[in-house]
Structure 1
Amino acid sequence: MTDSPTPTGSAPQGADAEALRQRALAALLTARERTALLTDSVDDHELTAQHSPLMSPLVWDLAHIGNQEELWLLRGVAGREAMRPEIDGLYDAFEHPRATRPSLPLLAPAEARAYAADVRGRALDVLDGTALDGGRPLVRDGFAFGMIAQHEQQHDETMLITHQLRSGPAVLAAPVPPAPTDAAGLPAEVLVPGGPFTMGTSTEPWALDNERPAHVRDVPGFFIDTAPVTCRAYQEFIEDGGYTEQRWWAPEGWAMVREHELAAPLFWHLDAGQWLRRRFGVTEAVPGNEPVLHVSWYEADAFARWAGRRLPTEAEWEKAARHDPVSGRSRRYPWGDEDPAPELANLGQRHLRPAPAGAYAKGRSPYGVRQLIGDVWEWTSSDFLPYPGFSAFPYREYSEVFFGPAHKVLRGGSFAVAPVACRGTFRNWDLPVRRQIFSGFRTAREI
């Protein structure tokens, strides 16, 4: 671990530095509350079981969260000796693929909890005693603490995916998200005029390396869906032979369809002519007005071709989400610069499902596009590539090793993403075959 320059704004001082410390504290505590909910809701057998070869046992994620916190906050920030150096290799995500992790001598649930709690107590002491108003880039603006809070929340999302994949009765519950009152009057698409805008960030203090630096992109005009593609629209694709017509599919996608005999999104099945889905242990009718969920990039791309449209590029998505045509500046979020709130976006596992299409009118972008933040991760047509001037920080394995055509970019977050890990500049990426993630999409077209 070495510090390297990373762009930031002016260093916070006095009351601003204390506010930043409180923000970091709140982010860490919120993440740990969610980790506890996800791991305390099942017994030890389910914690140690592998519910899918695509995912780790929940107990691995729990100890990995503690290990990364120790690595970066106790050793990296405070320079302390390793607490348990013998377990570092067990919880190195690059050393052991997910499918092999159950065979490792992992910490038992009680030991994993105790380790993570011990690390957390020490980490809070480090936060209390660390100056955030200058010095090393790793601690400037509280970056390391924000990075660890985001890391834990990202693993909480991963554990929520594991909860969706597990069999058995429901163990999680949440209220139904709000429905829009004006959905019937919304246009199907909106125009985003051509021209330059600022993509990425050089000032967001906890932005990760692949979001940096800010740079100007000139994007030709395009139309983009007002809301994500719904389950009802996707059913029309299915009923029109979407999974049986090779012409809609990229070659690799068609091979995936044939090999796995795909006929619908993951977790859907047809029963007596009605589409049902399994959602966190509950079987229910597929809600037609909800954004479609659990589709791969290949499925999203095939739907877009069938509809005579295409997936938006990453730059198009970000311009639709952040650019303010009146001021010419790029906002932090579609609605402005203020942090997410419940009336603006569906985030943080608050609802355990996407809100109906067109929800969150107060969270719309200046162009009138809705649900760009939260609800479902949205596939774009873009490969995951570095921005001009990219510099890996604080380690290459976060982003750099994934750059290239193998991974596609997703934007916007989902209902499973925490506000601390979701911004208008935030970039997610995954293999185009992935379906277990909370992914959907919207489409675009040229003018």
Structure 2
Amino acid sequence: MTTLAEGDSPEALRTRVAGLLAAARARSTALTDAVDEADLVAQHSPLMSPLVWDLAHIGSQEELWLVRDVGGREPLRPEIDGLYDAFQHSRASRVTLPLLTPPEARTYVAEVRDKALDALHRSPLSGRRLERDGFAFGMIVQHEQQHDETMLATHQLRTGAPVLHAPAPPPGRTPSAREVYVPAGPFEMGTSVEPWALDNERPAHAVHVDAFWIDTAPVTNGAYAEFVDAGGYDDPRWWSAAGWRHRLDAGLSAPQFWERDGSGTWYRRRFGVLAPVVPDEPVVHVCFHEADAYARWAGRRLPTEAEWEKAARHDPATGRSRRYPWGDEEPTERHANLGQRHLQPAPVGAYPAGVSALGVHQLVGDVWEWLSSGFEAYPGYETFPYPEYSEVFFGGDYRMLRGGSFGTDPSAVRATFRNWDHPVRRQIFAGFRCARDAGPRDDRPLGDRPLGGGAVA
């Protein structure tokens, strides 16, 4: 994201912000125009809101922050504030609310955007913290793109003919090593300088991480199928107590959307299309408990959040932490599978330009990666601009997710970005990679094994 600190004039920053707002709205429009009104108002899963709720909620948040706060205008539709407050109504209950109809929602978000652009034109993009470097506008860009990814997940849950289409991702390339050694030592975690970073990413602070090994790429479908076929879902040895209870209660037997034909071939349903599972794609639609069980079966574990971020950002040659695994350059189609450019994860090794300084592939894009850490505040954390974004979630049963997915927009992910969810969630575009401890002289790889797989006795 371009900032005033990088030399832009306020006019140039306004142009960039307006472009990002327009791109987010184009995506929201495409996701909602792809289906008819019956699909927009339907609830495709109790885990998800009706698509029309997400659309109007996007407008409601934009009105609250850009029209009323930054712009200083009177409310457009104060009577609907409660309907689109995510903390007042669960996702399962939103379908019963007197929501705006699809035409009303479209009209509302258009009116809000018109006034938000006026606020952008009038804001100095400096002074008070909310407006400095366009933070409020960046926050709203990220919010809309986050809901676009949520709507994309709703599309995955809907039934009916396919309505979304995209080209296939680039082909994969087998990485030269299965795992990467990360030496012990401190690194700078989080950020104090990224202008649009959200409060839970702040402040930058030094963290010591013991030596460890981390997979070069996410665990693949082929490797995960080995776990399934080896009876991994039937053996409580590989599951935590909570994970085994959930596996039994939910009847888990394979990743969500997988099904097997009579010949034993695995298929997956993706956005209405049934096709064979691609072995070298990162596995997706597994919950934390499934990821944790696989790691135990493979004789490994899930990385901690600090380990993941060190593998993604630390440059041993300079000792500094990068903005992204490949450097400070913003993501392009060469670096990562982001922005709904493709409707699936790319095969492992597909983005050699996106490799981290330590040699780790695909840390940004493709699949969100489950981590072993819970969601906690960093030392020196300060809530800004409201507690409901981060503060109220600290200390729950959440598990961290890092890196973004093929459905995450570049504006809504960076190497410091923190995501979290309940460990039972599978509808999100989440996969994982494994790690293992390393001693002070344990800098030799385990040896040649299939990428991401292999049971241990």
Q: TM-score range by the shorter chain?
A: over 0.9
1:263-274 equivalences under 5 Å are 263-272=253-262, 273-274=264-265
- Pairing 1:127-142 to 2, within 5 Å after superposition: 127-132=120-125, 134-142=126-134
Map of 1:42 onto structure 2 = 35
Q: Secondary structure at the match of 1:278?
A: strand
Partner residue in 2 for 1:445:
436
Partner of 2:146: 154
Aligned with 2:251 (options 236, 246, 261):
261
> 191, 195, 218: which is aligned to 1:201?
191
Among candidates 119, 129, 137, match of residue 126 of structure 1: 119
Counterpart of 1:396 in 2: which secondary structure? Answer: coil
Aligned to 2:371, what secondary structure does the other structure show?
Answer: strand
Q: Name which of 17, 28, 31 aligns with 2:24.
A: 31
Q: Which residue of 2 aligns with 1:314?
A: 305
- AA aligned opposite 1:305: R
1:57 aligns with 2:47: no
CA–CA distance in structure 1, aligned partners of residues 205 and 49 of structure 2: 37
1:166-245 alignment to 2 at 5 Å?
166-180=158-172, 182-183=173-174, 186-245=176-235
Task: Find the counterpart in structure 2 of residue 78 from structure 1.
Answer: 71
Q: 1:328 aligns with which of 312, 315, 319?
A: 319
Select which of 394, 402, 405 maps to 1:414: 405
Q: 1:97 aligns with which of 90, 93, 102?
A: 90
- 1:378-397 paired onto structure 2 within 5 Å: 378-397=369-388
Q: In structure 1, the residue corresponding to 2:17 is in which secondary structure?
A: helix
Q: Deviations over 1:109-150 (max 9, x none)?
A: 000000000100110111011101x21100001000000000
Compare 248-257 and 45-54 and name the one that shifted more.
Answer: 248-257
The structure 1 segments of at least 4 consecutive aligned residues displaced by more than 6 Å after TM superposition are none
2:115 partner amino acid:
R
CA distance in 1, matches of 2:396, 2:80: 33
Matched, 1:358 2:338: no
Closer, same or farther: CA 340–86 of 1 in aligned 2, 3 Å: same
Inter-partner Cα distance in structure 2 for 1:16 and 1:215: 30
Deviation sequence 1:303-359 (CA, Å, 0-9, x none):
000000000000000000000000000000000001100010000000010000121
Structure 2: distance between partners of 1:371 and 1:437: 18
Distance apart, 1:13 and its partner CA: 9.4
| 8 Å Cα contact 1:296-1:433 kept in structure 2 | yes
Distance 1:244 1:44 in 2: 42
| Residue of structure 2 aligned with 1:106, choices 99, 103, 106 | 99
Alpha-carbon contact 1:186-1:358 (below 8 Å) kept: no
Structure 2: runs of 5 or more not aligned: 439-457
**Which letter maps to 2:38?**
H
Supply the distance in 2 between the matched residues of 1:446 and 1:19 (Cα, whole angstroms): 47
RMSD over aligned Cα atoms: 1.3
* Matched letter for residue 114 of structure 1: T
**5+ residue gaps, structure 1:** 1-8
Residue-pair matches, total: 436
